Structure 1
Amino acid sequence: MIYLISYLVLGVLSVIYAYFNRGNGQSWYYNLFLIQLVGNISFFGFFNFIGHVLLRKKVAQSIGWVTNGFQIELGIVSLGIGICGILSYWFRDGFWLATLIPVAVFLIGAGVLHIKEMMRDKNFNSGNVTIIMPDFLIPLTLGILYILSLSK
């Protein structure tokens, strides 16, 4: 649920940022994408890191999984993704696409896995169900905004 809330809050913040920066020589979509990319990716990465490394037992239980070393690896990869989200504020152009691709693949793959767990294993734990919408919304929104941001 926290990812959905952050998605909505960052949506509002990106509109505010784009409105107040409309005279910076960049398109409306470029400014929207910047804040969505930096905000959503960095929040996702750092929050996932905290959950899968520092709070791994609690998170695994909420998903209906058993904690293991792979969960720590997932958290460390998420930390790298979060760092790329922050760096996207300063590095633009090809860095944005290079940040977007692994995040989109990761989230869509995770969303499909969570749906499979619901169908195959009847895993309706809150951590497995509430994450599905952001797993698809974040990459979809970022992908659309990236494409729209390419036009000036």
Structure 2
Amino acid sequence: MWFLVLWLFGLISGAVHLWMLGFPGEMSEISRVLLLHQFVVTFGLVGIIGYVVNIARADQTAKMLGWPGGPFQVKYGFSQVGLGVMGIMAIWFQGNFWVGVLVTMYIYGLSGLWSHTYVMIKNRKADGDSIGNLIMDVVYQAFITVLSILAGGIWVMS
């Protein structure tokens, strides 16, 4: 559920940005600003946390989760760093670049959906945290998709 906190940070920073702009009335501009903050803040923090948890402290994290550590965990950490870098690059590269950032997050979200489902099935246990993670895996992807559609100009073939 840690991702929910990152999502909230992106929403708060986006709201501050909108406040600084004087709350533009156009839904496309509001959506664009909120999506940009999801990229920069939420995805950027995923990258930083991914580095710390899965690269710098890989052994401790594996032990805490009760999973075997190893090169796959570090590889996963680098994929999180890549997502964070793409999110930050979205400041300067917009338009069709944002499609790449979105698709990368969709794949990351699918990996979360798969792994959360796998753990529930393996443990034969559907507790509140597990169900909450599954819901968040789907709802967040829908949220950024709606923002990208409302922002306009992102899903355009060039």
Query: Mapping of 1:127-138 within 5 angstroms?
Result: 132-138=134-140
**Which residue of the partner structure matches residue 17 of structure 1?**
17
The 8 Å contact of residues 32 and 145 in structure 1, kept in 2 or not, is answered as yes
The 8 Å contact of residues 49 and 78 in structure 1, kept in 2 or not, is answered as yes
Runs in 1 of length 4+ with deviation above 3 angstroms? Answer: 61-64, 121-125, 127-138
Instruction: For 1:128 and 1:67, locate their aligned partners in 2 and report how far apart those are by CA, in whole Å.
Output: 22
User: What TM-score results when the alignment is normalised by the length of structure 1?
Assistant: 0.82
Instruction: For 2:43 and 2:10, locate their aligned partners in 1 and report how far apart those are by CA, in whole Å.
Output: 11
Q: Aligned with 2:142: secondary structure? A: helix
Provide, for residues 86-139 of structure 1, a one-character-per-residue CA deviation record: whole Å limited to 9, x for no partner. Answer: 1111110111111110111221222222122212334789x9777545433432
Higher relative contact order (CA 8 A, sep 6+): 1
**Which residue of the partner structure matches residue 91 of structure 1?**
93
Runs of at least 5 residues in structure 1 that lack an aligned partner in the other structure: none
User: What TM-score results when the alignment is normalised by the length of structure 2?
Assistant: 0.79
**Which residue of the partner structure matches residue 37 of structure 1?**
39
Q: 1:131 to 1:63 in 2, by over 3 A?
A: farther
Provide, for residues 7-66 of structure 1, a one-character-per-residue CA deviation record: whole Å limited to 9, x for no partner. Answer: 11221221221232245x961111111112211111112211221111112322343311
Instruction: For 2:130 and 2:74, locate their aligned partners in 1 and report how far apart those are by CA, in whole Å.
Output: 18
Instruction: For 2:134 and 2:53, locate their aligned partners in 1 and report how far apart those are by CA, in whole Å.
Output: 17
Cα RMSD of the aligned pairs, angstroms, is: 2.8
Instruction: For 1:17 and 1:32, locate their aligned partners in 2 and report how far apart those are by CA, in whole Å.
Output: 9
Query: Mapping of 1:95-134 within 5 angstroms?
Result: 95-122=97-124, 132-134=134-136
Q: 1:46 to 1:68 in 2, by over 3 A?
A: same
